[in-house]
Structure 1
Amino acid sequence: MSWASSEGSRRSMVANRRRDTAPELAVRRTLHSMGLRYRVDFPPLGGRRRADIVFTRRRTAVFIDGCFWHGCPLHATIPKSHASYWVPKLRRNIERDQETDVQLRAAGWTVMRFWEHEEAVAVAQSIARQVRLETF
């Protein structure tokens, strides 16, 4: 017996990627074309919490958050099946994001968060402005 409620649900969950999502790739391609270099799927503070794009010298961590997984105010949905499982899981994701932001800022990092639905060029331009503003 699978952990998923249905075969379709199982296939959908297996297809979810931790890194290299389409929105991440679009932002990374744009940043690269602007001449910026960065680390991908990197833990800024060590440990298990990883940022999608990290500028180590600039101490800037960038997250491209999925609307479903991270509670986008415009697009988040609550699953109808197994809500007793999903609601706490999704709530914990949001709490973990907030904890990560606090930890990074306390360690002197700049944290930038964007939603997957945001336009990649605009996101990349915002990141580039931040990274180029900071001094060593």
Structure 2
Amino acid sequence: MQAIRSRDTKPEWLIRRLVHASGLRYRVAARPLPDLRRTADMVFRPAKVAVFIDGCYWHGCPEHYVPPRTNQGYWSDKVLRNTERDRDTDQRLMQAGWLVLRFWEHEPAEDCSRKVVELVARRRARIAGESAP
């Protein structure tokens, strides 16, 4: 278990690199809400966008999740709790006015980064339009 990374995984790194190359800056592994003990992989605070790159096994990907062969009860329950926590996190952030973006680790990094850049730019433009006199 100690060898399993909770941050800076290859899919995260690829997406972050492409988003950074497009000129956007963000926080890495940060809490979107200070009182919520959960971190997003990328946080764009002023635009209120939280990005999560979920691992297929740990978050129960419908395409790639394969139930474990050993200790099935524990690991299946663990993945179920992870998915429930993901839904709860999404709901809490949306109630606080955040846009939540979730990607699976198997999705092409180029597609994910393009979507992040587009939606963050859209949110920033909307915020700028609201604050203009």
**Structure 1 match to 2:47:** 58
- How many residues matched? 124
**Structure 2 match to 1:79:** 68
Distance in 2 between residues matched to 1:122 and 1:40, nearest whole Å: 19
Distance in 1 between residues matched to 2:10 and 2:111, nearest whole Å: 15
| Greater than 2 Å deviation, 4+ residue runs | none
Structure 1 residue 84: Cα displacement: 1.3
1:69-108 per-position Cα deviation (integer Å, ceiling 9, x unaligned): 0011110111010001111111000000000000000000
Structure 1 residue 31: Cα displacement: 0.4
Distance in 2 between residues matched to 1:84 and 1:111, nearest whole Å: 30
**Structure 2 match to 1:4:** none
Distance in 2 between residues matched to 1:65 and 1:84, nearest whole Å: 22
Distance in 2 between residues matched to 1:48 and 1:22, nearest whole Å: 24
Identity between Structure 1 and Structure 2 (%): 50
Structure 1 residue 30: Cα displacement: 0.2
Structure 1 residue 48: Cα displacement: 1.6
Structure 2 residues not aligned, in runs of 5+: 128-133
Distance in 1 between residues matched to 2:119 and 2:44, nearest whole Å: 11
The answer as to 2:10 corresponding to 1:22 is yes
Structure 1 residue 34: Cα displacement: 0.2
The answer as to 2:21 corresponding to 1:40 is no
1:116 pairs, out of 78, 100, 105, with 105
1:10-34 per-position Cα deviation (integer Å, ceiling 9, x unaligned): xxx2211111000000000000100
Q: TM-score, normalised by structure 2?
A: 0.91
Distance in 1 between residues matched to 2:57 and 2:73, nearest whole Å: 16
User: Aligned partner of 2:33: which letter?
Assistant: L
Structure 1 residue 37: Cα displacement: 0.3
* Partner SS for 1:123: helix
**Structure 1 match to 2:131:** none
1:90-129 matches, within 5 Å, as 90-129=79-118
**Structure 2 match to 1:88:** 77
The answer as to 2:50 corresponding to 1:69 is no
**Structure 2 match to 1:5:** none
Structure 1 residue 49: Cα displacement: 0.4
